[in-house]
């Protein structure tokens, strides 16, 4: 077992089981690049402040660069006996450059070091996740643009309600993803402050230039309270919350894709590359990507709940419980990235059954509201018009026909206000095209919405 940096106070070696339980290296090793980045900025600041000599600073920076390159290239593997990524890198640095490596930790604690690393890591990861969301967002813009006039039933309570278009339906998810990206951006803005210099909890007596180190690392500023700087994990919870909302949106879309791909709906055919078969039933084509995304949403929710429960009872400042923040948020990040890539491919390649969508809209009395509106425009109060339309729907259900199949004489037996123009008024095309207010499903309105969506960056 390797010597601990804090061994001076202790007379016994750490028990192996206790050491294995305590170590975070197996999961925090993924922050090695951010840890080295932070150490380099700290080193440059220490030199500028006259706390490190130019010679020691040069050795440290050169040593850290070498360690980074060797880990990247696979030449240096992580020592499983190391307590965490910070200790591993510091020990390796000291092995390579001698006593100068021991001076790097001057004016710094692992408490502010890990708080720095996780912020840097999350900001790097959020850039990647945002790019993946944007790919799905743009895929939906293309798909919606191809289906501006594809009529389908809109649903409430999963019952056919009113006719819309698939383009309009997909625009709803475009709006959701846009909000997801703005939430992500907002979360990054709030975490973009450096805790480096907070020390263990009370800052340091060394004349550090926190602002210079923060600027070196690209932060907007520094945290304003040393206790908060090392014990804050709001930003980790917020990221998990943002990712949970994103997964909720993907899960809702997944549910619809699963339904639409059934023979009962048959609105879409999934590409073979994004579906699987059965080991026993030759006819099966299963929407596994959508089902897994729906299932993995619960996993990300669990990560969020784990973080909330870990932090809910902790006194200030740092507590070892907070080591649990990384596995949860790392899992949420990995799950979201793992979902977005195949999900985007599935959406991009799914085949739209336009005929089935229009048949469903026509057969579900989705134009019943438009019939009521037609009667209102003829002078009938809306509540009376609603009643007439409802009676006509009941008549059609008993007769096994659609509203557009009702003869004019039959129509007039329910209301003498109905004239020949009723057929044009309640055609599905008219129902959709006449809804032209902002946010409605007419092709022109959807095109404007897509043009606006395309401007979002």
Catalytic residues, by residue number, are 157, 278
Sequential DSSP letters for 151-190: EEEEEETTEEEEEEEHHHHHHHHHHHHHHHHHHHHHHHHH
Helix/strand/coil for 254: helix
Residue 211 and residue 231: Cα distance in Å, rounded? Answer: 20
Non-local CB neighbours of 55 within 8 Å, separated by 6+ positions: 100
DSSP one-letter code for 276? B
DSSP one-letter code for 14? P
Among the listed residues 373, 357, 367, the one whose alpha carbon sits nearest the alpha carbon of residue 418 = 373
Residue 245 phi/psi, 5-degree rounding, is -65, -40
Bridge partners, 153 (sequence order):
163
Non-local CB neighbours of 328 within 8 Å, separated by 6+ positions: 236, 240, 303, 304, 306, 307, 310
Enter the tokens of residue 249: 């949106």
271, with CB counted inside 10 A (0-12, 13-18, 19+), is middle
Among the listed residues 417, 414, 392, the one whose alpha carbon sits nearest the alpha carbon of residue 402 = 392
Q: How many residues does the chain have?
A: 457
For residue 356, the Cα-to-chain-centroid distance in whole angstroms is: 32
Angle, CA of 432, 433 and 436, to the nearest 5°: 100
Enter the tokens of residue 410: 């039959």
**Whether 118 contacts 179, CB under 8 Å:** no
Bridge partners, 351 (sequence order):
269
Residue 446 and residue 146: Cα distance in Å, rounded? Answer: 11
Instruction: Quote the longest CA-to-CA distance of the chain.
Output: 101
Helix/strand/coil for 427: coil
**Whether 233 contacts 226, CB under 8 Å:** no
């Amino acid at each position: 077992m390797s010597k601990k940096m804090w061994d001076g106070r202790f007379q016994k070696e750490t028990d192996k089981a206790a050491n294995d339980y305590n170590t975070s290296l197996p999961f925090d090793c993924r922050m090695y690049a951010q840890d080295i980045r932070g150490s380099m900025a700290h080193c440059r600041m220490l030199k500028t402040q006259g706390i490190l000599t130019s010679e020691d600073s040069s050795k440290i920076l050169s040593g850290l660069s070498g360690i980074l390159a060797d880990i990247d290239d696979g030449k240096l593997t992580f020592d499983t006996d190391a307590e965490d990524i910070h200790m591993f890198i510091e020990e390796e640095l000291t092995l390579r450059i001698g006593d100068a490596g021991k001076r790097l930790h001057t004016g710094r604690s692992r408490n502010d070091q890990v708080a720095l690393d996780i912020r840097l890591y999350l900001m790097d990861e959020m850039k990647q996740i945002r790019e993946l969301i944007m790919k799905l967002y743009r895929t939906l813009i293309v798909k919606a643009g191809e289906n501006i006039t594809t009529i389908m039933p809109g649903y409430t309570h999963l019952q056919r309600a009113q006719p819309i278009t698939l383009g309009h339906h997909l625009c709803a998810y475009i709006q959701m993803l846009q909000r997801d990206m703005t939430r992500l951006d907002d979360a990054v803005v709030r975490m973009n402050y450096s805790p480096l210099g907070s020390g263990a909890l009370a800052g340091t007596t060394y004349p550090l230039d926190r602002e210079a180190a923060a600027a070196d690392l690209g932060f907007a500023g520094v945290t304003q309270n040393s206790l908060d700087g090392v014990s804050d994990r709001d930003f980790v919870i917020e990221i998990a919350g943002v990712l949970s909302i994103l997964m909720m949106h993907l899960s809702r879309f997944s549910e619809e894709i699963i339904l639409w791909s059934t023979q009962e709906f048959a609105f879409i055919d999934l590409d073979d590359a994004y579906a699987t078969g059965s080991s026993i039933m030759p006819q099966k084509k299963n929407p596994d990507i959508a089902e897994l995304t729906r299932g993995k949403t619960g996993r990300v929710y669990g990560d969020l709940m784990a973080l909330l429960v870990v932090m809910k009872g902790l006194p200030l400042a740092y507590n070892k419980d907070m080591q649990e923040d990384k596995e949860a948020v790392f899992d949420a990040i990995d799950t979201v990235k793992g979902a977005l890539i195949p999900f985007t491919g599935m959406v991009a390649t799914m085949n739209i059954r336009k005929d089935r969508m229009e048949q469903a809209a026509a057969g579900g009395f989705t134009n019943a509201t438009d019939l009521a509106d037609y009667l209102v425009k003829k002078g009938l109060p809306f509540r009376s018009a609603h009643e007439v339309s409802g009676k006509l729907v009941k008549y059609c259900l008993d007769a096994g026909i659609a509203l557009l199949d009702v003869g004019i004489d039959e129509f007039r037996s329910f209301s003498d206000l109905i004239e020949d123009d009723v057929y044009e008024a309640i055609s599905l095309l008219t129902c959709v095209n006449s809804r032209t207010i902002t946010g409605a499903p007419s092709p022109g309105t959807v095109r404007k919405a897509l043009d606006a969506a395309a401007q979002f960056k």
